[in-house]
Amino acid sequence: MLELLLASGNPHKAQEFAALFDRQLLSVNAAPSKIEVLEDGETYFENALKKATDYYSQFKVPVISDDSGLTVEALPGELGIFSARFGGPGLSDEQRVEHLLEKLGELECEKRNAYFSCVLCFYLGPEEIYFFEGRLDGAIATEASGEEGFGYDPVFIPKNLKSRQSVACDPGWKAANSHRALACQKANLFFKERNGQKTPD
């Protein structure tokens, strides 16, 4: 089993990742302390690598990091890697959601396309670094709904969710199909093959 330190001091986030990985292959634990990392990269890949590199340098053990965000096609360049800062500093999740709805206004459904992205970086050492990416396509609703999500979940309607509800209304579906879950599924497959285990065709 490969033991990984999550580039975050948040134990809840570590538990979320632990539930998404094959426990016979990978284990994830939160870092004993949080490191402030300057996330000034221009892509999710660059920011994930920055976090992984800094945590590896500090703790000298294999690290997993992630960077994720929401891209809204009608607002090019405004979210993405800047999703957590959209609308300005100091806003709550609810305020960012409200700001997004205000920016989109009365745009028709076909012009509200969006997608969540997640990039995982496995930093096993300076010479052994792997990336895995997950993407969840959907659209931005005209109003928030659901109590179970966080961030932009209450206004994100996945393309493949038959109920056409936001992901904040169906946490079970999100746990199995989110951008983070999809990236983790790719990592599971890679490390299973890396260990010489058979995978389904």
Tokens of 121: 């970086």
Tokens of 28: 């994830």
Q: State which amino acid sits at residue 2.
A: L
Question: Rounded to whole angstroms, how far apart are CA atoms 201 and 194?
Answer: 16
Contact 139, 157 (CB under 8 A): yes
Question: Rounded to whole angstroms, how far apart are CA atoms 138 and 153?
Answer: 11
9: left (phi over 0), alpha (psi -120 to 50) or beta: alpha
55: left (phi over 0), alpha (psi -120 to 50) or beta: alpha
**Catalytic: 22?**
no
- Indicate the burial class of 166 (C-beta count within 10 angstroms; 0-12, 13-18, 19 or more): buried
Question: Rounded to whole angstroms, how far apart are CA atoms 117 and 135?
Answer: 5
Which member of 67, 93, 153, 170 is catalytic? 67
As annotated, the active-site residues are 67
